[in-house]
């Protein structure tokens, strides 16, 4: 099947769909779209885990089972259903590259984590800092070294960010660590250590990372506090530069 019947398309609206491994019965991909979107991955040639799994199935004479999880949605509703489905199934059990829309700010978390987020004291920032939302890179059980690597780069930042003294690692609106910045350097200058990006990766061009250390005294003041007064919950930008106690600007 290369296309859906027109009457089906007209009645589906926005929908959330699943690609299911027929061998196990478990979904391996969650998507959202309208029209023929559900069929597009069957002819995808991009080098991704999802495409490789589809090819693996075809090698043994199988095809993924396509299912509609929910249809007749608005686009915003589809985003929410997709995000909830990914959270429920677990991003590490799927071939999706990223969690769903909005998952970083109000997605699945333990009750203790939600209480921590919603009851956190507001930070009153008086230093010049860069707020760095680590979003997709954050994991609950990260080591200090892994958290540092996720926070330090790579980022597309303006020259004024090089004048700040501290970088605050932010996840779900909460300060997770505080670093004193020693210097910024171009990401394509070796050595670069983040495991998912090779030294000669084109994504390194025109991007920066910082070298720094944990700011022990500063973290006592800021760790665990909320920066939601500086960064909107819906803000997609990963970098904010605090230039005034009540203002933050994209860099």
pLDDT of residue 249: 44
Segment holding 58, helix H or strand E: helix 49-59
d(CA 187, CA 206): 8
Which domains occur in the chain, in start order? Answer: 6-106 (3.40.1440.10), 111-250 (no CATH)
pLDDT of residue 251: 41
Largest CA distance in the chain: 64
Residue 133: count other Cβ atoms within 10 Å of its Cβ. Answer: 24
pLDDT of residue 33: 94
d(CA 173, CA 226): 6
pTM of the complete model: 0.64
d(CA 166, CA 59): 52
232: helix, strand or coil: coil
The one-digit pLDDT tens for each residue of the chain (251 residues) are 578 889 899 999 999 999 999 999 999 999 999 999 999 999 998 889 999 999 999 999 999 999 999 999 999 999 999 989 998 998 788 988 765 555 556 666 777 777 778 788 999 999 989 999 987 777 777 899 999 998 998 887 766 566 789 999 998 889 999 999 998 887 776 666 555 565 566 666 778 889 999 999 999 999 999 998 888 666 667 888 886 544 444 44
Residues pairing with 133 in the sheet: 170
Cβ pair 214, 93 in contact under 8 A: no
């Amino acid at each position: 099947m290369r296309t859906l019947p027109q009457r089906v398309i007209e009645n589906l609206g926005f929908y959330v769909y699943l690609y299911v491994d027929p061998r196990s019965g478990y979904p391996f991909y969650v998507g959202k779209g309208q029209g023929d979107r559900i069929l597009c991955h069957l002819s995808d040639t991009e080098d991704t885990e999802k495409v490789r799994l589809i090819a693996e199935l075809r090698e043994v004479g199988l095809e993924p089972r396509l299912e509609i999880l929910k249809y007749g949605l608005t686009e915003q509703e589809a985003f929410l259903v997709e995000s909830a489905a990914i959270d429920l199934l677990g991003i590490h059990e799927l071939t999706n590259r990223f969690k769903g829309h909005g998952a970083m700010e109000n997605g699945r978390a333990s009750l203790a984590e939600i209480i921590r987020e919603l009851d956190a004291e507001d930070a009153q920032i008086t230093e010049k800092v860069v707020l760095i939302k680590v979003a997709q890179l954050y994991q609950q059980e990260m080591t200090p070294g892994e958290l540092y690597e996720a926070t330090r780069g790579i980022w597309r930042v303006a020259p004024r960010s090089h004048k700040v003294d501290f970088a605050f690692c932010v996840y779900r609106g909460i300060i997770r660590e505080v670093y004193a910045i020693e210097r910024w350097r171009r990401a394509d200058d070796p050595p670069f250590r983040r495991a998912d990006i090779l030294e000669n990766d084109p994504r390194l061009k025109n991007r920066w990372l910082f070298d720094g250390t944990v700011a022990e005294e500063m973290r006592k003041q800021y760790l665990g506090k909320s920066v939601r007064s500086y960064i909107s919950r819906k803000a997609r930008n990963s970098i904010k530069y605090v230039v005034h106690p009540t203002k933050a600007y994209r860099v």
